Amino acid sequence: MRSFETGLSRLRRRLTAAGAALLLAGPVFASDHDGSSHELLPTNGASRSIIIRGPYVQLATSHSIYVVWRTDKRIQPVVRYGDNPGNLDRVVAPQDVITRVSLGTNRAERLRVIEQWPEVAHFPVLHSAYAGTWQYEARISGLQPESTYYYAVCDGETRLTGRDPSYRFKTHPPPGKSAPVRMWIVGDSGTGRENQSLVHDAMLKHTARDGRPIDLYLHLGDMAYNKGKDVEFQSRFFEMYEPTLRNVVCWPTMGNHEGSTSKGTTGIGPYYDAYVVPARGEAGGVPSGTEAYYAFDYGRVHFICLDSHDLDRKPTGAMAQWLKLDLERTKADWILAFFHHPPYTKGSHDSDRETQLVQMRTHIMPILESHGVDVVLTGHSHIYERSMLMDGAYATPTIAENVILDDGDGDPNGDGPYQKSAGLHPNQGTIQVVAGHGGTRNSRKGTMPVMRKIIVEHGSVIIDIEGDTLTGFMLNKFAEVRDTFSLVKRGHITPRRILNPWQPPDWKPPRSPGGEEPAAEVPEDFIDVIPRHAEWHYLAGSDPEGLKWTEPDFDAKDWKVGIAGFGYGMKGVRTELTDMQGNFSRIYLRREFEIEHADYIAEIGMRIFYDDGFVAYLNGKEVARKSMGKGHGKDARDIRSHPGDKLEYVPLKDFEKHLKSGRNVLAIEGHNSSKDSSDFLLDPDLIIED
């Protein structure tokens, strides 16, 4: 049984919800203009089609933008727009909308779709969605720069989107004009979980607080765990960021997780279905000829997106050659580059060890720095790391000596902003930002010596550029600013390399006072092996001899059977241990479970409420111990008080050695800190990563 809501089920739920919303949406679009209230029939005479993705905006320039959406049936795609939400007086007609349709993944599906709509055999293909999914990409052109427009997506005359001024977009400034820009930068977020949502909410809260919304959104990859499938994009990207995506363009770069199902060499896959990016230099960069890497301008800021995942990263490769051409041609004041794999990190990944990261540092960074790039934004490593002003750190392992140009903190209210000469100059310094902390599990392996700030919290980055000043903030999921850095490009600066720069202190993995590992996070996708509130055999009021009771061949027929959780005096108790308080402080649980292919399992763990401590055994071997010292059973020592009010995830250590294909046994001994304690709880389940 799957205990989480799958992308598919969410999609189905959303289809139902959207359909209901549509019926409630009321009058047809025609009433906007002439006051009539006639109800128009759906295009195909069948049930009215509904939007199943978007609408969202893509590929903005100073004079154009794309509005993209999906439906589950064919419609007459029309976008109405105007500069007043009450008067959408301009139209993108169906013939100006690119229509793509999914023919499915097998012959039967393909035939079914083509039989229904014969002409679609010649339509551009939507490679990865469910058969019969329609995607519409409407290019709105002839717009004024720096102007806000409102829009509605329609099926012929029938309005499909709500009468909501949030369906709006703002065009970019004219090329070459200096204009303030605020961007939101997120990496490795695509879990569909609470942390991702909190990070998004924090950005909305922060921008509302200072009255300055974002102009664009850069995603640094891994936006749709676990494999970048279409349903994962739906539930873990489009649904999570829907309010933002409808009026702000997300400019993406592909992560390794999207790379499981999308390929840079072919430009095919859910990632490439989802986005419209400027492969032909439509937005200000040199034409790349591929959607895998591209460039665009926002006023006097030039953005470069690279594919660090599955294309040739060597200087002789097409991507590096394009990068050089693009950097030679741009006449912007600022250059920001973004890609997935960080050249410098000791977060969940190590840039001194991994090929993609080493190659981005040794092959790509020299090109970027020699052409004056100011900031490099990356993800992949699940952490926030922000460097000092640096240049020329191409060695492996990375060292800080002689590559730091300013070892201050870059904070305008601290050591002061970093400084470079006005305009673009080679090798005057780059700030590296690793922002792979957008939603998934964070971790840290060590200390990257060029970093000034290293923070293991969920969050995102906001960067403002106005005139000659760039200011960046790391915003955690509670909307607290956890790092501020600034770069001023003014006058003439002569960079100097620092022989012995400030370096971050050494770091060791944190341990709790009891020597326990830090809390782990539940895998994005999992399957219940022992569900919540399952029946367990349990022994209460006495102690079994030794550890024989933890082994698979132990016969527990004399034990009682109860439903988890076990305890007293706490919410969540289902098997009440009425005689425990004042009489005994330990109970013992056993439960069998089946695993089909033990060698396929990547991770197995318990989600557990516990008050106060426990030891878990898998097939007789200890695999987890929390809130207690050494020993087991009646010999267990140092039981520490632990509130059982929070569900914690505890991976089973070294499970690979003990888990078997077929029958297995999980055994748990639960301990109260004292017999007289006012409460006790032991409420576990068991999950495997899917």
Partner 1 sequence: MALVLTARAPAHDSPEALVNRYSALMAAHGVTPLLLAKRAEEYAVLGELDKAAADWEQLLQLQPRSLNALTELSKVRLESGRLTEAMSSVNQALALPAHPEEQAPLYLIRAHIHRARGDLTNALADCERFFVHPVPDVDAFILRSQLQLRLQQWEAALVGLREGWERTGSAVLETHWIEALVDAGRPAEALAQIERRLPETRWQSSWLLRRARARLR
The answer to the question of residue 659 lying near partner 1 (CB under 8 A) is yes
**Is 279 a residue that touches partner 1 (CB under 8 A)?**
yes
Residue type at position 76: Q
Does position 283 bind partner 1 by CB under 8 A?
no
Largest CA distance in the chain: 85
Helix (H, G, I), strand (E, B) or coil at 236: helix
**Min. distance of Cβ 35 from partner 1 in angstroms?**
47
Q: Contact with partner 1 (CB under 8 A): which of 630, 656, 663, 674? A: 656
For residues 650 and 624, what is the distance between their CA atoms, to the nearest angstrom? 7
Q: Scanning residues 539 to 598, which ones bind partner 1 (CB under 8 A)?
A: 598
Rounded Cα–Cα distance for residues 227 and 307 (Å): 17
The nearest distance, CB 514 to partner 1, in angstroms, is 24
Asked if 318 touches partner 1 (CB under 8 A), the answer is yes
Question: Does 196 help bind partner 1 (rule: CB under 8 A)?
Answer: no
Stretch that binds partner 1, among 64-72, 150-158, 278-286, 537-545 (CB under 8 A): 278-286
Nearest to 161 by CA among 65, 60, 32, 12: 32
Q: What is the 3-class SS of 492-526, one letter each residue?
A: CCCCCCECCCCCCCCCCCCCCCCCCCCCECCCCCE
Buried-state track 628-666, b at ≥16 Cβ within 10 A, e below 16: beeebbeebeebbebebeeebbbbbbebeebbeeeebbb
Using CA atoms, how far residue 54 sits from 227, 232, 234, 235, 637, in Å, is 21, 15, 10, 12, 57
Any contact of residue 653 with partner 1 (CB under 8 A)? no
The single residue among 102, 440, 486, 581 that binds partner 1, judged by CB under 8 A, is: 440
Q: Does 665 bind partner 1 (CB under 8 A)?
A: no
Computed from CA positions of residues 654, 657, 658, 663, in that sequence, does the dihedral angle turn out positive or negative? positive
Q: Name which position in 63, 227, 640, 653 contacts partner 1 (CB under 8 A).
A: 227
Looking at beta carbons only, is 331 or 637 nearer to partner 1?
331
User: Nearest approach, Cβ of 661 to partner 1 (angstroms)?
Assistant: 7
Window 230 to 259, contacts with partner 1 (CB under 8 A): 256-257, 259
| Closer to partner 1 by Cβ: residue 161 or 226 | 226
Q: Considering only 66-74, 135-143, 326-334, 487-495, which stretch makes contact with partner 1 by CB under 8 A?
A: 326-334
* Peptide bond between residue 310 and the one before it cis (omega within 30 degrees of 0): no
Cα 66 to chain centroid, rounded: 23
CA distance linking residue 99 with residue 123, whole number of Å: 7
690 binds partner 1 (CB under 8 A): no
Note whether 187 and 221 are within 8 A (CB). yes
Residue 364: phi and psi, rounded to 5, are -95, -40
Contact region with partner 1 (CB under 8 A), list: 5-13, 37-45, 342-350, 470-478: 342-350
Angle at 689 between CA 684 and CA 690, to 5 degrees: 130
Q: Does 105 bind partner 1 (CB under 8 A)?
A: no
User: Least Å distance between CB 494 and partner 1?
Assistant: 20
To partner 1, the closest distance from the beta carbon of 384 in angstroms equals 16
Q: Rule CB under 8 A: is residue 327 a binding residue for partner 1? A: yes
Please identify which residue in 266, 500, 542, 678 interacts with partner 1, judged by CB under 8 A: 266
Is residue 590 a contact partner of residue 552, using CB atoms and an 8 Å limit?
no
Among 445, 482, 640, 653, which residue interacts with partner 1 (rule: CB under 8 A)? 445
Distance CA 493, CA 541 (A): 77
Q: Does 353 bind partner 1 (CB under 8 A)?
A: yes
Task: Please tell me whether residue 661 binds partner 1 under the rule CB under 8 A.
Answer: yes
For position 272 contacting partner 1 by CB under 8 A, the verdict is no
Q: Which of 13, 212, 331, 630 binds partner 1 (CB under 8 A)?
A: 331
- Which of 356, 476, 503, 550 binds partner 1 (CB under 8 A)? It is 356
Question: What is the closest distance, in whole angstroms, from the C-beta atom of residue 599 to partner 1 in the complex?
Answer: 4
Q: Does 358 bind partner 1 (CB under 8 A)?
A: yes
Residue-wise over 521-549: b if at least 16 C-beta within 10 A, else e? Answer: bbbbbbebbbebeeebbbbbeebbeebeb
Q: Which of 619, 622, 677 is nearest to 644 (CA)?
A: 677
Interaction between residue 667 and partner 1 (CB under 8 A) = no
Contacts of 374 (CB under 8 A, 6+ apart): 334, 335, 336, 420, 430, 431, 470, 487, 489
- If you ran DSSP here, which 8-state letter would residue 598 be given? G
Strands 566-568 and 680-684, by their bridges, are antiparallel
Sheet containing 51-58: give its strands across: 51-58, 65-71, 134-140, 97-101
Q: Which is nearer to partner 1, 311 or 475 (CB)?
A: 311
Q: How far apart are CA 515 and CA 513, in angstroms?
A: 5
Site string for partner 1, 378-397 (x = CB under 8 A): ----x---------------
Both tokens of 355, joined, read: 């090929």
Task: Take residue 314 and report the two structure tokens written for it.
Answer: 């060597």
In angstroms, give the least distance from the CB of 188 to partner 1: 9
Whole-angstrom Cα distance, residue 302 to residue 281? Answer: 12
664, two tokens:
């297995």
* Structure tokens that stand for 114 in this block: 């083509």
Q: Which of residues 5-34 bind partner 1 (CB under 8 A)?
A: none
Enumerate the H helices of 331-438 as residue ranges. 355-359, 365-370
* Binding test (CB under 8 A) with partner 1, winner from 317, 416, 531, 552: 317
Choosing from 69, 322, 384, 549, the residue that interacts with partner 1 (CB under 8 A) is 322
Q: How far is the CB of 657 from partner 1 (least distance, A)?
A: 5
663: contact with partner 1 by CB under 8 A: no
Q: Which C-beta is closer to partner 1: that of 10 or that of 425?
A: 425
Q: Is 613 in the site for partner 1 (CB under 8 A)?
A: no
The piece of 13-21, 103-111, 328-336, 585-593 that touches partner 1 (CB under 8 A) is 328-336
Q: Which residue has the tokens 């070294």?
A: 654
What minimum distance in Å lies between the beta carbon of 455 and partner 1? 18
Of 73-81, 193-201, 438-446, 637-645, the segment contacting partner 1 by CB under 8 A is 438-446
* Residue 61 interacts with partner 1 (CB under 8 A): yes or no: no
Q: Which is nearer to partner 1, 127 or 642 (CB)?
A: 127
Q: How many residues bind partner 1 (CB under 8 A)?
A: 63
162 touches partner 1 (CB under 8 A) = no
Both tokens of 455, joined, read 């923070």
> For partner 1, which residue of 98, 325, 547, 570 counts as binding (CB under 8 A)?
325
Binding site for partner 1 (CB under 8 A): 225-227, 256-257, 259-260, 264-267, 279-281, 286-290, 309-314, 316-318, 321-322, 324-331, 348-350, 353-356, 358, 371, 382, 424, 440-441, 445, 598-602, 654, 656-659, 661
